[in-house]
Amino acid sequence: MTTTTRVTLPAGASAPPAPPPRRVKPRKDRAGYLFLLPWFIGMLFTVIPFFASLYLAFTDYNLLNAPQWIGLGNFREMLDDPLLRQSLKVTFIYTFVSVPLSLVVALGVAMLLNRGVRGLPIYRAVFYLPSLLGGSVAVVLLWRYIFGLDGVVNAFLGWFGIDGPAWTSDPDYALTTLIVLHIWTFGSPMVIFLAGLRQIPAMYYEAAAVDGASKWHQFRSITLPLLSPIIFFNLIQSLISSFQTFTQGFVLSSGTGGPADSTMFYNLYLYQQGFSQFNMGYASAMAWMLLVIIAAFTALNFLAAKYWVFYDN
Amino acid sequence: MTGEPVRNTPNRRDVLRMTGLAGLGLGLAACGRGFGGGDDEPAGGAVQLNMVWWGDAKRAEKTQAALDIFQRKHEGITVKIEYQDSGPYKDKLATRFAAGDPPDVMAMRMDSLREYADRGTLLDLGQHSGAVDLSGLSESARTLAAVGDKTYGVPAGLNAIGFVVNRTLTEKYGVSIPDGDTWSWADLASFARQVTQASGRKVYGTNFEAFTLANFIVFTRQHGEDFYTADGALGVSESTVVEWFEMVEAMRAEGGFPPAGFIEKVGASAEQSYLAKGSIASQIIPTNNFLAYNAAAGGNLALLRIPGETQAVRRGQSVDCPHLWSVAAATKHRDEALALLDFLANDVEASKATGTTRGVPANTSVAQEIKPSLEKDDQVATEYLAGLQKEKLPRSYTYPPGSSKIASSLESIAAEVEFKRQTPQQAAKTFLDTGRKALGK
């Protein structure tokens, strides 16, 4: 991460001293490009499908016959597609509930760990683990058992005399279950928060304490402003990835987006259109629509950032 | 931390840069999956056929045994199989066609047949009747893969749906099983209610999947309607859809059916079923899975017909197939692929090796010949099928393109009704509207 490499620089080091003049200037950039080569090759696999899907978005393409140009036909159809609206609703609820909550949890845990806990690397690893696994098939399956009708959660609720619902098969609760799963995977923003917290100089807090500022006040006036770029980064990252959620809905519902389309994420619907219903043109149009949506929210965030993100340089 | 004020929080440009890089990473990760298939043809004039299907390891073992015989009989042809679960299979097959790399021989789902056939990607077997002999098949078996005057596959086997009842449970709770040939839907309801009551709600009387199209189609046919008409439109009436949902909800209300949300999607195999767990006493299964379900549920299942067959306007049950064997129109090894199809359909040794994992052999004389060598449970299923084939059943038409959308919408609408988010009337209307739109008529 950029933050950790920069910590090794000596304080106040601006530009490195200019190298002594030489007669032959070595081509330093050649090695750089050599190291970048795998990335350029990988880019081909992104760039070609990228433009292909842009073209397909304006066609009627059933995977089996050559695509037929239909102009804006797919986009017009999207206006009148109830399932598309449902998938947008599911994705938006999921994103706007789970992203803020998981960031709050991540920041909270990061602050707890930052208070000089012994065995920090172990805790950090333990909390980070779920975010490595959270998107995996095995964990969603496990989650299905934990939240099953006779699962751990309902057994726990049973101790308090609460008759728990069918968390994964009831359309009113299935999405909630996935939101909880998302919040549980707070590890990767947490690790970034933790790195950010450690960059805040202790002397600010010392000075504030001398002036008699409460812990809450210190948090509001020192931690939050100095951490705001990190919060901003995490926010953007989480938003982008959560708009693209697929696995959780796919595994929980065995690919159907059920029960009653309650876990029909935008990407899951896109996948169904493309691969189950042979509407690859429509699926491509949906993919571009998602790109526009994500870009719009990211742009909005960058605009809003002017008012709350504090860059101390 | 050092005491020195090190300024290391990232600036605006860093955040932008990190966001961009991470975004690219996501994009690349999404493209990281490769596709299977690929040409690794053996050298020296030998032909390698690529054959794909869905199923489990047990089916793979039986299929391989048949293919070994084929390879012995046909020097110079090797068959490379690929198999997986039915869900991902469907997606992968579509991708292979899209990539211009279709398999030579493939398992074709009945509800996908016309998606492929109507687009000219499958070989018309009618043009090659010399290579694949279809004369041994019964009329109903031959027409399964017929679209207009063309034939796009051979049934990999014949099956039907059947009602299985766990006798261990009914004996334990002292509930008698109605006559399986003549029982009505009302008989099923009262049977189910009695089981639930007698067991003190430990076991629910029945849980047939209201959201599975094949089950609903039998009910539709009993009402004298074709779910799909000959010209590929929806033939089911709104009142029949309403009646189906009302019947299920009535059983749920009186306890014969488990409460909403009780059945969770835990997996598709017989071992994972609620019948095997003993929490329900009866359900509908495809008959070719009878052996697997009976083994999983303790070996005491009875196989009944679908209720309502004798009371209905006409017969609802039909002889179907779990899937067809089809050949890609673009295959480079047409003759070899057709030889394999002929072998699978008409060779007694082939059917002995595969058993009835894909149903009863479509060739009637082969079916008779292998029957004595089958396991007892497979014989039960074979007799069930033979019984149905002797009777006059109304013809069913191939699923038109767009029917996969209809199948998935039935599933989602059935959940709406189950959780009382929609009345059967609302659900029926939504279902038919969605269906007509999907079929474009």
Return the number of other C-beta atoms located less than 10 Å from residue A275's C-beta.
21
Mutate to test the interface with B, among A5, A147, A233, A268 (most CBs of B within 10 A): A233
- Looking at residue B86, its pLDDT comes to 79
Q: What is the pLDDT of residue A17?
A: 57
User: Considering just the CA atoms, what is the radius of gyration of chain A in Å?
Assistant: 24
Count, residues in chain A? 313
C-alpha to C-alpha distance for B174 and B211, rounded to whole angstroms? 30
Please tell me which residue of chain A has the smallest CA distance to B33: A45
Q: Are A181 and A140 contacting, i.e. CB atoms less than 8 angstroms apart?
A: yes
Distance between B413 CA and the closest CA of chain A, angstroms = 6
Contact B14 A257 (CB under 8 A): no
A136 near B CB under 8 A: no
A49–chain B Cβ distance below 8 A for any pair: yes
State the smallest CA–CA distance between residue B116 and chain A in angstroms: 7
The pair of structure tokens assigned to B240 is 């029949």
Indicate the average pLDDT of chain B.
86
Structure tokens at B88: 């991902």
pLDDT at B219 over 90: yes
- Determine the pLDDT at residue A298: 94
Contact A313 B11 (CB under 8 A): yes
Which residues from B are below 8 Å from A169, CB to CB?
Answer: 261-265
Q: A208: helix, coil or strand?
A: helix
Nearest chain B Cα distance for residue A129, angstroms: 19
- Interface size, chain A vs chain B, as Cβ–Cβ contacts under 8 Å: 152
Contacts of B107 (CB under 8 A, 6+ apart): B52, B53, B54, B89, B156, B323, B324, B325, B326
Residue of B nearest to A195 (CA): B9
Please tell me which of the candidates B7, B87, B264 has its beta carbon nearest to residue A313: B7
- Taking contacts as CB-CB distances below 8 angstroms, the residues of chain B near A240 are 19, 23, 26
Residue A313: the pLDDT is: 62
Q: What pLDDT does B305 receive?
A: 94
Model ipTM?
Answer: 0.79
pLDDT at B32: 34
Measured between beta carbons, the chain B residues lying within 8 angstroms of A278 are 94, 115, 401
pLDDT digits (tens, 9 = 90+) for B167-187: 999 999 999 999 999 999 999
Residue B279 has pLDDT above 80, yes or no: yes
Mutate to test the interface with A, among B1, B6, B8, B277 (most CBs of A within 10 A): B8
Interface of A with B in 65-94 (CB under 8 A): 65
* B contacts of A233 (beta carbons < 8 Å): 10, 15, 18-19
In tens, the pLDDT along B313-367 reads: 899 999 888 899 999 999 999 999 999 999 999 999 999 898 888 889 988 889 8
- Measured CA to CA, the distance from residue B65 to residue B72 in angstroms comes to 11
Q: Do A171 and B419 touch (CB under 8 A)?
A: yes
Q: What is the pLDDT of residues A244-268, one digit of tens each?
A: 999 888 888 878 887 889 999 999 9
Among B197, B377, B398, CA closest to B291: B377
Name all domains of chain B by residue range, CATH numbers in brackets: 47-157+322-386 (3.40.190.10), 161-317+402-439 (3.40.190.10)
Query: For residue B403, what is the nearest residue in chain A, using CA coordinates?
Result: A277
In chain A, residues with a C-beta closer than 8 Å to the C-beta of B101 are: none
Query: Does any CB of chain B come closer than 8 Å to the CB of residue A237?
Result: yes
Taking the CB of residue A265, how many other CB atoms lie within 10 A of it?
A: 27
Nearest-Cα distance to chain A for B163, in Å, is: 24
CATH of domain A81-308: 1.10.3720.10
User: In this predicted model, which residue has the larger pLDDT, B32 or A171?
Assistant: A171
pLDDT on residue B31: 36
Residue with the two structure tokens 């495809």: B286
Average pLDDT, integer, range A75-80: 92
> Which chain B residue has the Cα nearest residue A172?
B419
Amino acid A297: pLDDT:
94
A247 in reach of chain B (CB within 8 A): no
Q: Does A198 reach chain B within 8 Å, measured CB to CB? A: yes
A277 close to B91: Cβ distance less than 8 angstroms: no
Q: What percent of chain B has pLDDT over 70?
A: 89
Q: Nearest chain B Cα to A149, which residue?
A: B262
Fill in the amino acid letter for A33: Y
Q: Is A166 on the interface with B (CB under 8 A)?
A: yes
Peptide bond into B372 cis (omega under 30): no
Residue B229, Cα to own-chain centre: how many angstroms? 20
CB distance B95–A275 less than 8 Å? yes
Question: Searching chain B, which residue's CA lies closest to the CA of residue A225?
Answer: B9
pLDDT digits (tens, 9 = 90+) for B387-400: 888 888 888 788 89
Mean pLDDT for the stretch of residues B193-219: 93
Chain B contact for A227, CB < 8 A? yes
Is A200 an 8 Å CB contact of chain B?
yes
Looking at the complex, report in whole angstroms how far the Cα of residue A24 sits from the nearest Cα belonging to chain B.
33
Pick the residue of A53, A145, A247, A311 with the most B CBs within 10 A to test the interface with B by mutation. Answer: A311
Work out the burial of residue B269: count CB atoms within 10 Å of its CB; fewer than 13 is exposed, 13-18 middle, 19 or more buried: middle
Q: Which residue of B has its CA nearest to A64?
A: B98
pLDDT tens digits for range B109-139:
888 899 899 889 999 998 888 888 888 888 7
| Contact status, residue B154 vs residue B106, Cβ threshold 8 Å | no
From A72's Cα to the closest Cα of chain B, the distance in A is 19
A100 touches chain B (CB under 8 A): no
Lowest pLDDT segment from B129-143, B145-159, B419-433? B129-143
Residue extents of the structural domains in chain A: 81-308
Asked if residue B164 lies in contact with residue B188, where contact means CB atoms within 8 angstroms, the answer is no
**Higher per-residue confidence, B396 vs A293:** A293
What number is the average pLDDT over the span A177-195? 89
Give the pLDDT of residue B1.
Answer: 38
The beta-carbon neighbor of A237 closest among B22, B263, B265 is B22
